[in-house]
Amino acid sequence: MSGFSLSRGGVRRTAQAPSRQDGLPARGWADRIAMMLHAMTTRRHLAAMDDRMLKDIGVSRSEALQESSRAPWDTGPRAQ
């Protein structure tokens, strides 16, 4: 992932971010903690939804409970 930065000399292109073995961009610890906090918050909201709300988003009660019980650091795709 490349980007641009603004400096006194003008706009310049920044180097590509390092990648992990699986090809995804590497994340710093602050990004990882923010991702875990976001996962905790959204999973808590999912668990608090009533059946009507879950039906609106196409999620069953058992799927919602399964997702909300995942560990905060488990942010990848859910295993089927």
Domain-located, residue 27: no
Non-local (6+) Cβ contacts of 6 within 8 A are none
Domain-located, residue 28: no
Domain that holds residue 46: 33-72
7 band by pLDDT with thresholds 50, 70 and 90: low
Please give the distance of CA 73 from its chain centroid, rounded to a whole number.
Answer: 10
Question: In this structure, what token pair is assigned to residue 71?
Answer: 């560990």
Question: In this structure, what token pair is assigned to residue 28?
Answer: 């710093």
Please give the distance of CA 63 from its chain centroid, rounded to a whole number.
Answer: 18
Q: Indicate if the pLDDT at residue 2 is higher than 50.
A: no
Domain-located, residue 67: yes
User: In this predicted model, what pLDDT tens digit does every residue of 17-58 receive, in sequence order?
Assistant: 555 556 666 678 888 888 899 999 999 999 999 999 999 999
Q: What is the pTM of this model?
A: 0.60
pLDDT for res 56 = 95
Q: Is residue 7 classed as helix, strand or coil in its secondary structure?
A: strand
Domain-located, residue 49: yes
Domain-located, residue 25: no
pLDDT for res 14 = 53
